[in-house]
Amino acid sequence: MSGDFSKMIEFMTLIGQLKRVQRTGWVRSNITRPESVADHMYRMAILAFLVDPASGLDKDRCIKLALVHDMAESMVGDIAPSDGISKEEKHKKEEAAMGYISSLVESSVGREIYCLWKEYEDQSSAEAAYVKDLDKFEMILQAYEYEQLEDKPKCLEEFFASTKGKFQTDQVKQWVESLESVRSNPKTS
């Protein structure tokens, strides 16, 4: 039993590490207080609650996918495209991390965590595609918030540009349009 508990503590500690891993894009953009990976995953999970009931998507599955999609970053960090690591190498590192992380919990829970991560990585379901859209949307929403907080309108355009034409789901496409409209037409006081 103590061995199982020590594994559980290691699991919890690794997951807790996500609160201290800052999102690379914000660090490189010199954001004053950049969000952590855990911050990002939390808001994605909350956004998943908002899935349109008419979409036929499994809301609980979307929430779970949002909660595990970046879990490997507790071990490998937030690897950005500009880091010079190939997609294949990044995937290999994250897959090894997820194998280890999922081995620290009861086997059925570990399998579920690993399978959810793999589903997201492979984009093998409609829920995974929706959560991928949430991932990109949460990033541009955060960029907009940083622009507002730092009083530098449109200073983070590169993040918006990187997502142009990449959204797949109607609901998130509507959110993006609304966000772009708000961003383009700021209220005047």
Structural domain boundaries of the chain? 2-184
pTM of the model: 0.94
pLDDT of 177 over the 70 cut: yes
Read off the pLDDT of residues 114-152 as tens digits, 9 standing for 90 and up.
Answer: 999 999 999 999 999 999 999 999 999 999 999 999 999
> How many CB atoms are closer than 10 A to CB 39?
16
pLDDT of 188 over the 60 cut: no
pLDDT of 187 over the 80 cut: no
Classify domain 2-184 by CATH number. 1.10.3210.10
- Cα separation, 110 vs 165, in Å, equals 35
